[in-house]
Amino acid sequence: MNIQEFLENFAEQFDDTDAEAFAPETKFRELDEWSSLTALSIIAMVDDEYDVIIKGNDILGSETIQDLYNIVEEKVQSKN
Amino acid sequence: MSQLTINNVRISGMSACVPATVEDNRTLSIYKDENEALKVIASTGIERHHKVDPGTTASDLTVKAVEGLLKDLDWQPQDIDCFAYVCTSRDFIAPQTACVLQDRLKLRSDCCVFDLPFGCSGWVYGMSIVSSLMSHGTFKRAILVAAETNTLNRSQRDTTVRPLFGDAATATALEYDPEHSRPMNFMYGVDGSGYEAVWAPYGGMRHPVTHEALEEKEVSPGVFRRGVDMIVNGMDVFGFAIKQPPRSLKELIATFNIDVDSVDLLLLHQANKFIDEKIRKAVKIPAEKTPYCLEEYGNVTSASIPLTMVSRCGERLAGEDQHCIACGFGVGLAWASMEFYAGNVKISPIITY
Chain A CB contacts of B39 under 8 Å are 35, 37
Best to test chain A binding among B235, B242, B276, B279 (most A CBs inside 10 Å): B235
Q: What is the pLDDT of residues A18-48, one digit of tens each?
A: 888 899 999 999 999 898 888 988 998 999 8
Q: Which pLDDT belongs to residue A1?
A: 85
The answer to whether the CB atoms of A59 and B235 lie below 8 A apart is yes
Chain A CB contacts of B240 under 8 Å are 53
Which chain B residue has the Cα nearest residue A51?
A: B243
Helix (H) or strand (E) holding B36: helix B34-44
**Is A23 an 8 Å CB contact of chain B?**
no
DSSP B53: P
Q: Which pLDDT belongs to residue A15?
A: 84
**Does the structural domain A3-79 have CATH classification 1.10.1200.10?**
yes
* Contacts with B45 (C-beta within 8 Å, 6 or more apart), sequence order: B272, B273, B274, B292, B294, B295
Could you please report the per-residue DSSP string of B57-84?
Answer: -HHHHHHHHHHHHHHHHT--GGG-SEEE
Q: How far is A9 from chain B (nearest CA, A)?
A: 17
User: Do A37 and B39 touch, CB atoms closer than 8 A?
Assistant: yes
Helices (H), chain A: 3-11, 36-50, 56-60, 65-79
Q: What is the pLDDT of residues B102-130, one digit of tens each?
A: 999 999 999 999 999 999 999 999 999 99
The answer to whether the CB atoms of B236 and A59 lie below 8 A apart is no
Of residues B311 and A14, more confidently modeled: B311
User: Do B48 and B213 touch, CB atoms closer than 8 A?
Assistant: no
Chain B CB contacts of A55 under 8 Å are 235-236, 239
Which chain B residue has the Cα nearest residue A40?
A: B235
Neighbours of A39 (CB within 10 A): 20
**Is A19 an 8 Å CB contact of chain B?**
no
Give chain B's residues under pLDDT 70.
Answer: none
Which chain A residue has the Cα nearest residue B160?
A: A36
Nearest to B142 by CA among B169, B175, B99, B109: B175
* pTM for this predicted structure: 0.92
Task: Count interface pairs A-B at CB distance under 8 A.
Answer: 38
Reply yes or no on whether the pLDDT at A80 is more than 80: no
Could you please report the per-residue DSSP string of B292-327?
Answer: --HHHH-B-GGGHHHHHHHHH-HHHHHSSPEEEEEE
Residues of chain B that touch chain A, judged by Cβ-Cβ distance less than 8 Å? 39-40, 43, 160, 233-236, 238-240, 242-243, 274, 278
Q: How far apart are CA B77 and CA B71, in angstroms?
A: 10
Q: Which pLDDT belongs to residue A64?
A: 95
Q: For residue B243, give the nearest of A36, A39, A47 by CB distance.
A: A47
Q: Please name the amino acid found at residue B75.
A: W
Neighbours of B92 (CB within 10 A): 11
Helix (H) or strand (E) holding B235: helix B234-241
Q: Which pLDDT belongs to residue B190?
A: 96
Domain ranges of chain A: 3-79
Chain B CB contacts of A43 under 8 Å are 235, 238-239, 242
Backbone angles phi, psi at A57, to 5 degrees: -70, -25
Q: How far is B238 from chain A (nearest CA, A)?
A: 7
Q: Which CATH number among 3.40.50.720, 3.40.190.10, 1.10.10.10, 3.40.47.10 corresponds to the domain B1-353?
A: 3.40.47.10
